Structure 1
Amino acid sequence: MECISVRDLVKRYGDTIALNGVSFKIMCGEKWALLGPNGAGKSTTLKILAGLIKPDAGEVKIKGDDPTSLSSKRRIGYLPEDADPFPALSVEDNLRFMMVLRGIKDEKRLEYLIEVLELDKFRKYKAAELSRGNKQKLAIAMTILHSPEILLLDEPLNYLDIPTQDLVIDLFQSLRDSTFIVSTHIMSVANKLTDKAMVLSNGALKWMGDFEELKGMGESIEKVVAKLIKGG
């Protein structure tokens, strides 16, 4: 089944064209990396898919629905780059607020995420009092609290040390049935969380395919992606 459909997507910020006729389709259960340099249009694409901003032209469907619809909001978990939980709420209250918004009754899910993300000793801390790494862990917990069908992750391992990165990768990998789009600069992370890749550059889609195809192009993935970005 088709989970995400994007056709001829255009988005401008003043005179800057962030997206210029981007089209792609993602089937349910697929796991895609969104690769490209800064300013390529990656974050803009995720924000449009999450229903946070509207395109200037083109069409986006989430399982056939508009991304701004309530049905799409229920399906999606979106982690923005530099996510910032509600600063005046505690770790626990941030999660409880999300439980109310998402209609979640199961306390076990909240306790599981607090435990697995090693946030228990910070549960009464206000988000504003947390280190940047612990804020990121809290934001991740808030994003996946409802076990979303579709995960849109923008640089999900920002601010995390290496042991915590491994922990978070394992947590994302446990969501086996979810559809992923992961924007990241780190090829090893993309390779662990996804098995397909899209390459964006200057607002245009340069390449789509399996990671195995990238690996088979005779050079490191980083060099292959750099060539694709440059149009090679």
Structure 2
Amino acid sequence: MCISARGLVKRFGNVVALNGVSFDVQCGDAVALLGPNGAGKSTTLRILAGLLRPDSGSAQVCGFDVQRQPREAKACLGFLPEDAVPFLNLTVRENLEYMAVLRGLGDSVVDEVMDLLELRDLARRMASSLSRGNRQRLAIAMAIMHKPKVLLLDEPLNYLDIPTQEKVIALLKELNSKGTTMLVSTHIMSIAERLTRRVIVINKGTVVWQGEINELRKIAADTGERIEEVVARLMR
């Protein structure tokens, strides 16, 4: 397994954000963590990324325990947090060059990822001056530039216009086709359908269903519901 969560529990004061979350993601798979706002999706991704310590439970990425082997786990993943903010006092290119240095990469990788996300025209712009959509493109570039084995993506299409969404979807699907494992957090079923093959439905900090998207389509066909209605019913 490239991603494994076992009994994750996380509390913020009196609020239980996660209540025993467990799931696996096989290497090369593309899986959606699907649920409403406040379901625990971002908390789960932050724990997997090693940015948040669970109160109990464990998480592994690429076979490495996130808490006990953080360097090894982080080396094999790319993480796009929700509302990602690049270094605002650097230009677009400087942000990417800094990330390349941290990852031990050369300038050719910076040029490559700038082309992929169409950032060349913004190369000398300060990140602080970018629109939210352009900041999102930059953050995606920073997350994927080292060709990670595992990608954790929290609402990756946030703030992107429709043409850019289409390009990012195509880019992410191409990365997945080449072996990158993806776990995508979203509250929108149509995004899950376009980017992934399997869903983990989470609500109120608990996994309520997980399986292939085709299984959800079959349930919808059998019951005469829309797939979104099936998911909503599962979360009740």
TM-score w.r.t. the length of structure 1 is 0.96
How far the C-alpha of 1:185 sits from its partner, in A, is: 2.0
Distance 2:191 2:108 in 1: 29
1:14-163 alignment, distance < 5 Å: 14-68=13-67, 69-105=70-106, 107-163=107-163
Which secondary structure does the structure 2 equivalent of 1:217 belong to?
helix
Partner of residue 228, structure 1: 234
Q: Secondary structure at the match of 1:216?
A: helix
User: What is the CA distance between 1:224 and its match in structure 2?
Assistant: 0.9
Deviations 1:115-148 (A, max 9, x none): 2322111100110011111000000000000011
8 Å CA contact retained: 2:80, 2:143: yes
CA distance in structure 2 between the partners assigned to 1:140 and 1:13 by the alignment? 28
Deviation readout 1:79-125 (Å, 9 max, x if unpaired): 001000000000000000000001112x3322122123221111001
Distance 1:164 1:4 in 2: 28
Question: Which string of whole-angstrom CA distances, capped at 9 and with x for unpartnered residues, describes residues 163-218 of structure 1?
Answer: 00001111111112011110112222211110000000111000000000011112
Note the C-alpha offset of 1:11.
0.3
Query: Aligned-pair distance for 1:43?
Result: 0.3
Gaps of 5+ in 2: none
Which amino acid is the alignment partner of residue 51 of structure 2?
Answer: L
Letter matched to residue 224 of structure 1: V
Q: Which residue of 2 aligns with 1:179?
A: 181
State the one-letter code of the partner of 1:147: K
User: What is the CA distance between 1:63 and its match in structure 2?
Assistant: 2.5
Indicate the residue corresponding to 1:208 in structure 2: 210
What secondary structure does 1:23 align onto? strand
Mapped to 2, the partners of 1:51 and 1:192 lie a distance apart of 27
Partners of 2:110 and 2:173 in 1: CA distance = 18
2:200 pairs with 1:198: yes
Distance in 2 of aligned mates of 1:213 and 1:94: 42
Identity of aligned residues (%): 53
Q: Name the CA distance, whole Å, in 2 between partners of 1:166 and 1:229.
A: 29
Q: How many residue pairs align between the two structures?
A: 228
Deviations 1:33-78 (A, max 9, x none): 0111111100000000000000000111123312241111111101
| RMSD of aligned Cα (Å) | 1.0
2:198, 2:120 → 1: CA distance? 35
